[in-house]
């Protein structure tokens, strides 16, 4: 849809060549014993460490701006329903949560993943935050949409989440240890990582202007790897802005950010 998104196609191509075929191989009897575990260790590193951030933040970008043109829209659904589960993302839920709630509420109290009610310089507060989202995040997000009669979002959220659970149940019947390692553990890992990122992005709040609760991280390799995700204040101000345009927007708004006391960190990032 946008020629600047060609790196996303390169990433998805690599995933289809490296990640998905190996995941299928791990379900077969071709590999056994130590050879299976060596292959799995390599698979886990590549899929859950090397590609994890790249894919997750690509998903973020293509939730805001569709990757494919209308005549190839089915490919967007392919990414959502087929590719996402390999990285711990349940289908449709990221889009519903992020686009339907998080950007609408801007991390304020009505946001099911809001950091404001927690002590944000406390390890205990962080553990409470992550634990609540792991066990109650789906419920809270569903109730947010249901109470506002936003049927499109709560149906997508519910269908995607429950479809993943059903898929895992079926795959556990086929081979539960492999399903645990390939889909269930990455699911838990992904939600912890996402909440860790959200916690860091929204840890610092201006008490006089609580809606100014985001930061920027600049001059860090993370921005190259994860599509300029470090410029989080800019993203909340201009959520539809293409990731390649974000640094320029940051330069334009330096004076405004100084006036609003928006924190910018150099050389470090969220994770």
Q: pLDDT digits over 59-112, tens only?
A: 999 999 999 999 999 999 999 999 999 999 999 999 999 999 999 999 999 999
Range of the domain at 82: 1-87
Q: How many CA atoms lie within 13 A of 184 on its CB side?
A: 15
Q: Are 51 and 19 in contact (CB under 8 A)?
A: yes
Query: Which of 87, 121, 136 corresponds to the end of one domain?
Result: 87
pLDDT digits (tens, 9 = 90+) for 194-246: 999 999 999 998 888 889 999 999 999 999 999 999 999 999 999 999 999 99
Residue 171's pLDDT is 98
103 belongs to a structural domain: no
Q: In 3-state terms, what secondary structure has residue 163?
A: helix
Single out the residue of 268, 144, 110, 137 nearest to residue 192, CA to CA.
137
Which pLDDT score, from 0 to 100, does residue 207 have? Answer: 81
pLDDT of residue 68: 97
Residue 237 within any structural domain of the chain: yes
CA distance 100 to 81: 18
Final residue of a domain: which of 87, 114, 143? Answer: 87
Q: Among 122, 136, 125, which residue's Cα sits nearest to residue 191? A: 136
pLDDT of 177 reads: 98
| Rounded Cα distance, 127 and 41, in Å | 27
Residue 206 three-state SS: strand
Q: Which of 61, 87, 113 delimits the end of a domain?
A: 87
Q: Is 247 a domain residue? A: yes
Q: What is the pLDDT of residue 221?
A: 95
Q: Is residue 250 part of a domain?
A: yes
User: Phi-psi region for residue 149, left (φ > 0), alpha (ψ -120 to 50) or beta?
Assistant: left
Structural contact between residues 117 and 132, judged by C-beta atoms closer than 8 angstroms? no
Tokens of 126: 């962080």
pLDDT for 121 equals: 93
Q: Is the model's pLDDT at 270 over the cut of 90?
A: no
Whether residue 200 lies inside any domain: the answer is no
pLDDT band at 271 (very low <50, low <70, confident <90, very high): confident
Q: Is residue 51 part of a domain?
A: yes
Length of the chain, in residues = 271
Q: How many domains does the chain have?
A: 2
Q: What is the mean pLDDT of the chain?
A: 97
Q: Is residue 111 part of a domain?
A: no
pLDDT of residue 209: 86
Residue 65 lies in a domain: yes
């Amino acid at each position: 849809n946008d020629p600047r998104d060609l790196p996303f196609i390169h990433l998805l191509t690599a995933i289809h060549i490296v990640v998905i075929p190996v995941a299928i191989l791990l379900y077969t009897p071709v590999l056994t014993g130590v050879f299976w575990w060596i292959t799995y260790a390599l698979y886990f590193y590549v899929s859950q460490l090397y590609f994890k951030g790249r894919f997750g933040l690509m998903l973020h970008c293509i939730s805001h701006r569709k990757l494919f043109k209308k005549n190839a829209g089915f490919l967007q659904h392919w990414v959502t329903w087929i590719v996402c589960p390999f990285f711990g993302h349940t289908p449709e839920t990221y889009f519903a949560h992020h686009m339907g709630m998080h950007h609408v509420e801007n991390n304020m109290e009505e946001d099911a993943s809001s950091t404001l009610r927690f002590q944000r310089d406390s390890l205990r507060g962080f553990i409470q935050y992550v634990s609540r989202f792991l066990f109650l995040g789906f419920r809270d997000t569903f109730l947010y949409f249901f109470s506002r009669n936003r049927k499109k979002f709560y149906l997508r959220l519910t269908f995607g989440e429950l479809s993943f659970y059903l898929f895992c149940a079926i795959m556990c019947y086929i081979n539960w240890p492999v399903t645990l390692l390939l889909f269930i553990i990455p699911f838990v890992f992904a939600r912890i990582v996402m909440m860790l990122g959200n916690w860091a992005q929204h840890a610092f709040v201006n008490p006089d202007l609580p809606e100014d609760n985001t930061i920027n991280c600049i001059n860090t390799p993370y921005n190259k790897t994860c599509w300029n995700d470090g410029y989080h204040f800019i993203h909340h101000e201009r959520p539809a802005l293409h990731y390649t345009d974000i640094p320029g927007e940051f330069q334009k708004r330096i004076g405004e950010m100084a006036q609003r006391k928006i924190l910018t960190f150099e050389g470090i990032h969220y994770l």
